[in-house]
Amino acid sequence: MFRLLATKQTIKSNGRRFLSSSSILKADPAKGKKFAEKNEDIIKHSQTSSATWKKISLFLAIPAILICAVPVYRVEQEHAKHRKSFKSHPRRQMAS
């Protein structure tokens, strides 16, 4: 109990000391400007790379999928013609 009370008091006092220190909360305008510039560079780079991938998807991936899908569809239609027709078995009729 005493140990728990002591830790709560320590946390409260350390928290007060941390927040009352004015040197920690001072802003550095040079670092803020550098951070903002770096953030803007990242945004510009992400916009150009996302535009590139969008073009690749539209003009390369979709036509490639269609080029591969058309022959496969034709082959599957040929296989569908040769399938045996469905026969009703007496055992299946009894179950229903």
Specify if 90 maps to a domain. Answer: no
Could you give the number of structural domains in the chain? 1
Q: What number is the average pLDDT over the span 6-20?
A: 61
This prediction has a pTM of 0.46
Specify if 15 maps to a domain. Answer: yes
Q: Distance (Å, rounded) from C-alpha 56 to C-alpha 58?
A: 6
Specify if 94 maps to a domain. Answer: no
- The residue with greater pLDDT, 12 or 76, is 76
Helices (H), the chain: 2-20, 29-56, 62-81, 90-95
Specify if 92 maps to a domain. Answer: no
pLDDT of residue 61: 95
pLDDT of residue 7: 65
Q: Distance (Å, rounded) from C-alpha 39 to C-alpha 41?
A: 5
Range of the domain at 6: 2-80
pLDDT of residue 82: 81
CA–CA distances in Å: residue 55 to residues 20, 27, 58, 61, 89: 54, 42, 5, 9, 54
Specify if 96 maps to a domain. Answer: no
Assess whether pLDDT exceeds 60 at residue 81.
yes
Assess whether pLDDT exceeds 90 at residue 17.
no
